Chains A and B, each alone.
Chain A
Amino acid sequence: MSFLLWLESTGFGTFVRESESLFAYPTFIVLHTFGLSIVVGISVVVGTRLMGLAPTIPLAPLNKLFPIMWFGFAINLFSGSGLAAAAASTTIPNPLFIAKIIFVLTAVAVMVVLQVKVFRDPEVDDKPLDTMSKALGGSLLALWLLAMISGRLITYIA
């Protein structure tokens, strides 16, 4: 707990929480929404394609979208760190926050596996997708949905 109180009292945490500037809390919240729309939005396309929707979209070029998704994730790692630090002692022990982090980390692991095992395979479009890839696509969508739900509820359930 003393670590969480220290985190709250750091310059970063205090700035995000207490500064009257629009560049403090409001900007971190807006950035978190931008990052979400990028990483979850593109995951919707990648995930539904893997699950068999819009099968005429070639899979291999979707590999090019991963850097954009990682960019969105980086925005949210940064903005999320600021938001969590600003209210560390109340947010971080919140079971909803812990659940959200677990969903996010699992989604990130799924993204890594998809990128390395599925989309980097130059022959990905020459053979039918295996069940594992389809399942990973569905899992990615489910995990982001759960992360979004738990994240939004942190505001309401302390």
Chain B
Amino acid sequence: MQSFVEWVASTRVSWFMNDHVWVWPATEILHFFGMSLLIGTIVLLDLRMLGMAKKLPLLSLHQLVPWGVLGFAINLITGILFFAGNPYRYVHNISFVLKLLFIFLAGINVLVFYLNVFRDTESVGSGDDAPMSAKIIAAISLFLWVGIMGLGRMITFMDDTF
């Protein structure tokens, strides 16, 4: 781990993140922008599956998922940039480690949704209730994404905790 951290800190990307005062705040702004895309689309889909705004046909909302994926891609890239900029800080931060764990769990949740549950939700039209399996996935997703946001924002306050 130590040699990995040292290698990351020696890369040009790492230098770039630290050599210009504007790079870090600009990356943060992009990270918030990606978060808004991701949370807006995914949370809305989750809330609909849990029974909110039932007049919305589930498949019509599902069209927005590519925007959520775009948000995730933006945040994966900007997240890697933060890590590259200060790898030592992140590997010793409990909030960061837990955030990665939550993202991994959210990924498994998405896989379970598309492999087992999605086909049962395609017919959930205006006014229909989503099946219980979809509600459970939605509740887990909401919990994990709220956790990911909270843990991410707490990184600042959790230096040298891991």
Can you name the residue of chain B whose Cβ is closest to the Cβ of A144? Answer: B36
Instruction: Give the residues from 27 to 53 in chain A that come closer than 8 angstroms, CB to CB, to chain B.
Output: 29-30, 33-34, 36-38, 40-45, 48
Partner of B67, one of A26, A44, A62: A44
Stretch at the interface among A10-18, A104-112, A129-137, A148-156: A148-156
Instruction: Assess A33 versus B153: contact at CB under 8 Å? Given A44-B67, A153-B25.
Output: yes
Can you name the residue of chain B whose Cβ is closest to the Cβ of A148? Answer: B32
Q: Are A149 and B36 in contact (CB under 8 A)?
A: no
Of B28, B32, B37, B43, the most chain A CB neighbours within 10 A belong to B32
Contacts of A144 in B (CB 8 A): 36
Interface flags, B24-46, vs A, CB<8A=1, else 0: 01001100110111111101100
Give bound CA distance, A48 to B61, whole Å.
Answer: 12
Min CB distance, B122 to chain A, in Å?
14
Of B37, B40, B152, the most chain A CB neighbours within 10 A belong to B40
Can you name the residue of chain B whose Cβ is closest to the Cβ of A41? Answer: B40
Contacts of B67 in A (CB 8 A): 44, 48
Give bound CA distance, A22 to B161, whole Å.
Answer: 14
The answer to the question of A93 belonging to the interface, with a C-beta cut-off of 8 Å to chain B, is: no
Q: Are A56 and B60 in contact (CB under 8 A)?
A: yes
Q: Are A30 and B154 in contact (CB under 8 A)?
A: yes
Can you name the residue of chain A whose Cβ is closest to the Cβ of B35? Answer: A37
Number of A residues near B (Cβ < 8 Å) is 35
Contacts of A29 in B (CB 8 A): 153, 156
Contacts of B146 in A (CB 8 A): 34
Q: Are B60 and A65 in contact (CB under 8 A)?
A: no
Give bound CA distance, A61 to B53, whole Å.
Answer: 6
Instruction: Assess A42 versus B60: contact at CB under 8 Å? Given A30-B150, A64-B52.
Output: no
Min CB distance, B55 to chain A, in Å?
4
The answer to the question of A77 belonging to the interface, with a C-beta cut-off of 8 Å to chain B, is: no
Contacts of A148 in B (CB 8 A): 29, 32-33, 36
The answer to the question of A145 belonging to the interface, with a C-beta cut-off of 8 Å to chain B, is: yes
Contacts of B154 in A (CB 8 A): 26, 30
The answer to the question of A95 belonging to the interface, with a C-beta cut-off of 8 Å to chain B, is: no
Q: Are A30 and B153 in contact (CB under 8 A)?
A: yes
Interface residue ranges, A against B (CB under 8 Å): 22, 25-26, 29-30, 33-34, 36-38, 40-45, 48, 54, 56-58, 60-62, 64-65, 68, 144-145, 148-149, 152-153, 155-156
Additional pairs, 11, CB under 8 Å, beyond known A45-B40, A64-B52, A64-B53: A33-B153, A37-B149, A38-B39, A41-B36, A44-B67, A54-B60, A57-B56, A58-B126, A60-B55, A148-B36, A152-B32
Give the 10 A-B residue pairs with the shortest CB-CB distance, closest first. Answer: A41-B40, A61-B55, A64-B53, A37-B39, A44-B40, A41-B39, A40-B36, A57-B60, A61-B56, A33-B153
